[in-house]
Amino acid sequence: MASRSKCFVINLFSVILLFSPGAFAEKTFAKKKIQVGSEVLEVEVAQTPQQHAQGLMFRPRLGENEGMLFIFQGEETRSFWMKNTLIDLSIGFFDRNGTLVDVQEMKSGKGIPDSALKSYLSVKPAKYALEMNTGWFDKKKIKIGTKLRILP
């Protein structure tokens, strides 16, 4: 009986740890070099559904040229929200050819109930999404039609 209780406590602790803010922040993503227009960056890459869901949750800040590239299996209208995201972000949506089709500014979801969070829908189908610090695309003069390349 004691071992069963101990097992329950350990499992409960694992569940609490899994869903705590720090659990997401400590997981690492692979990095890839990309080129957006004339800008060459090394960004984190989210490729799996679990990584897509985690994204940049619980990050207190990003460096000036840090970001996350979301790579999806197919090209379709994409929807993002800022659940548990502590910082404002810019998002660029790219089609299957790597052409920038939309840029949006997303507001932090800090302190906002899930039911009140805004969804950010791409205006055209996208295969890639690049999240950067707020204003990054404007600051770097990255316009609609700019190409994204994943470098070797």
- Give the tens place of pLDDT for each residue, 45-99: 999 999 999 999 999 999 999 999 999 999 999 999 999 999 999 999 999 999 9
b/e per residue 104-114 (b: at least 16 CB within 10 A): bebeebeebee
Superfamily of domain 28-150: Protein of unknown function DUF192 (2.60.120.1140)
- Entry pTM: 0.82
**Site of tokens 């940049």:** 56
Question: Which residue ranges make up each domain of the chain?
Answer: 28-150
